[in-house]
Amino acid sequence: MHYLALLASAASVAGAVTVVDLSDTPWTLENGDRNISVPGKVPSHVHLDLLASQVIDDPYYGLNDFNLRWVALSNWTYTSQLSGLSKEGNVSTFLLFNGLDTFADIRFCSQPVASTNNQFRQYFFNVTDILSGCDSSSPELQVEFGSAPRIVDDIANQPGQETWPWLTEITFEFPNRQYMRKEQSDFGWDWGPAFAPAGIWQKAWVVQLSEDEVYVRNSVFDLYREGQLNNLPPDQTANWVLNASVDVIGVVPEGASLNFKITDVATGEDAGSGDLVNITNHGDVITGSAVLSAEDYKLWWPSGLGAQNLYNITIELVSESGKSLSSVTKRTGFRTIVLNMGVVSDEEVAKGVAPGNHWHFEVNGQPFYAKGSNFIPPDAFWPRVTPARIRQLFNSAIAGNQNMLRVWSSGAYSPDFMYDIADELGILLWSEFQFGDAFYPTDPEFLENTRLEAVYQVRRVNHHPSLALWAGGNELESAMLLIVQLMYPDKYDYYLHKYETIFLDTLLPAVYGNTRSISYTPSSTSKGYLSLNFSNPIPMTERYNNATPGSIYGDTDYYNYDARVAFDPSTYPVGRFADEFGFQSMPSINSWKQAVPPEELSFNSSTVMLRNHHYPSMSLNTTNYQNSSLGMGEMTIAAQLYYPVPSKTDPLGNFSAWIHTTQIFQADFYKSQIEFYRIGSGRPEHQLGSLYWQLEDIWQAPTWAGIEYDGRWKVLHNVAKDIYQSVIIAPLWTASTGTLQVYAVSDLWDEVKGRASLGWVGWDGSVKNFSGQAGDVDFTIGPLNATLLATISIPELELISGLNASEVVFVANLTASGTPPNTEATKTYTHTNYFTPTPLASAALVDPGLSVEHDNSTDEFVVRAEKGTSIWTWVSLDEDDADEVIVAFDENGFLLRKGEEKRIGYSLINGNGQRVGWQDRVSATSIWDNTLP
């Protein structure tokens, strides 16, 4: 994908329009109080420019998130001298900013231009009069950023300012984030630092227009089926409607028209052209539409469900005389994506689906199982997030069998290149407005600021086929309203009204008023809507607590840090979709070495503990040992409960082994939950989605991530990759009865047939034969479904057959035939899974006799277990090699039976792989290695 070419075409203009890219002009960053003056950049953040000039050390190193708070608490000014601008009388001059973070005062030629207070809005200002009266041939542009923490504190202390009940405004480090339209996690979160950065964080330009010229600053292309309405499944046989609306700087002349041209990206062939009709011209916005034949366009599908067919659509703005005024080209795809929250039909109930409402996604009319994770900001400083970094993460998501990412709110809206990459790879992006874990002001100024932010963002990204949903914010109904209901019931109606003022009355119209192709839900986790009536000004009425006993509604999130019940599925929530769940683990020793001094590389060192923000200090306290120790203790207890824990003589080796053990528990726990949710596709809840918390790290620290900051896969990402395969065999343990159920699960859209082999294996490698065990089972799985293969009573096996739970592992193998979506060829699916009837901490593990060697002829690694059964088999690079080369093995964290050989390929994640001989230093370990000194 050639991003520069796309960007150039995305806002191309005709005539003599002059555009000065402010990224190409020299900038100075200054703070007079501290006598700091250094070169600046656009886009950038203050921290990054100070780092480039060596005024500060790496913000990510050690405890610099605390040490550098002075940067966030200071005011900073960016200055640039602009030359070559025209002052001719018929030329209008505008400043255009795609992102100012956040509280900015803009001056041009020493004259005030404007003040801004929203990181997420596009701003443009007419400075024609200022420039014409400016004596300088190189007028000065100055953007001064106020300290966001100090400014919101001042706002909070204003007389009569709104306040909220305790616990409904979650403070992580800097307080009062709810008063600002800035990345909420900039003030801290339980997985990241609080740098509260400032700067011109996105592109900026000077635009000069002659009379009758316009410049396209934003646009929305909406592709939907005729008759389609938001949140409702459309007729898949209907023709397409292209609705295009173009926002301009300048004035669109009367009589102007719009035409379109569509090109197939893959072939370069023309796929359609013509004039838009029903033109409406408001001067700064012109809109038109066209009906496109359904037969002429190939559909776009998510990864694993079909091809990612893409088209370029060019909209040209033409004057009444036929002169081309401007054009805009966007790459898009033809698809429908709907969050179906409709009522479960009587026919579905008759088939075994629990009554209530649906909560699942349908693409091109087809329900599918959403497999994925939650995406958080990949860096505390967005200007250093590159397309290469996002592509690396998304490639890992695809390799991990994921088709959807929930782009969590309280971060920032995703850049266009992120959607572009998702369009190419087939990753659906559940997107959210940037509100979370708080109530927000509802005064008219805040609401209008929010509305303009939402309208800009919806219009900016709507053309991307990867856009799956707009959600109002994070945990607003499931947490904030619930807290009020439980703790402040007399204030519930008041705060419910405040909530609806933003998330129904303001944000819903911003979506529905600009697109018909995207669904909206006010909160990431909710029971869905009670009714949807498009004859009402606000069509959606939320369900809240209007639930019928025995019915199932909505999606779920789940966090339980009591490790004693981690593998008891009766504690997991039953819903239609799981949007977040998780448990924290340590990053690898290689990640820690990037950020922590050598003398601090131990499990409970000061630096490691203070970089652990679970649980958060909920203040600016820099000695948060008490709360941090709780989170550290959760990881420790979990490891001790379920696995042999390390006690190695080498301190660094011991730290590394403990790190790995926390990762194993995390992966084990997530695996148990994902299995439960996927089995739910064949149970009454008809559960159709699992998005775990979280895909990736923002820095090097204990978090819920499956991918570390440098792209390295934790155990979790490897295990999720395995359990997110299309056809799997999955155990379901009922702790109260000691019963093990075994299911075959498929997310394919057609019937799957196969055979499963179920049995017991000793840790010494011997095959165990117990009377009553299932053996071989033939099965059929319906579309998007699960089939029960066997029910095994562990207490009966112990009593009747002499099973010793500490000596054995239950092993299940599956082979099946099925047809992948949108294909005709039959594919063979295989999967292996296991269940340990006692925690590995008390299992009679033996040395499995692992060996690994590199096969140069196939560039694969051959792993063998010669002496016994190997569980949590882990293939890894030598520690020194792993500092320079990051590799994702095709399989990792697996079970290997005695005498079994597994051949494993790999992919380079980072580094050029040229460190000589690293393949010959790869090793394999298992959980048994924790018992070694």
Residues labelled catalytic: 475
**Alpha-carbon dihedral 541, 542, 546, 551, rounded to 10 degrees:** 110
Residue in the block written with tokens 């033109």: 279
CB-based contacts of 80, cutoff 8 Å, min separation 6: 22, 25, 26, 27, 28, 140, 141
317 touches 286 (CB < 8 A): yes
How far, in Å, CA of 107 to CA of 826, rounded? 66
Q: Name the residue among 616, 618, 569, 517 with its Cα closest to residue 227.
A: 517
What is the per-residue burial (b if ≥16 Cβ within 10 Å, else e) of 301-332?
A: bbbbbbebbbbbbbbbbbbeeeeebbbbbbbb
Side chain identity, residue 800: I
> If you write DSSP's letter for every residue of 665-690 in order, what string do you get?
HHHHHHHHHHHHHHHGGGSTT---EE
Phi/psi of residue 388, nearest 5 degrees: -65, -40
Beta strands in 455-517 (DSSP E): 467-471
Residue type, 251: V
Token pair 């049995």 is at which residue?
Answer: 759
Residue 649's Cβ-count burial label (10 Å; 0-12, 13-18, 19+) is: exposed
Q: At 268, is the secondary structure helix, strand, or coil?
A: coil
C-alpha–C-alpha distance, residues 122 and 117, integer Å:
11
Alpha carbons 234 and 226: distance in angstroms, whole number: 8
Read off the tokens for 464.
């991307």
Residue 914: how many other CB atoms lie within 10 Å: 9
CA distances from 726 to 14, 129, 351 (A): 50, 63, 23
Task: Give the single-character DSSP code of 246.
Answer: E
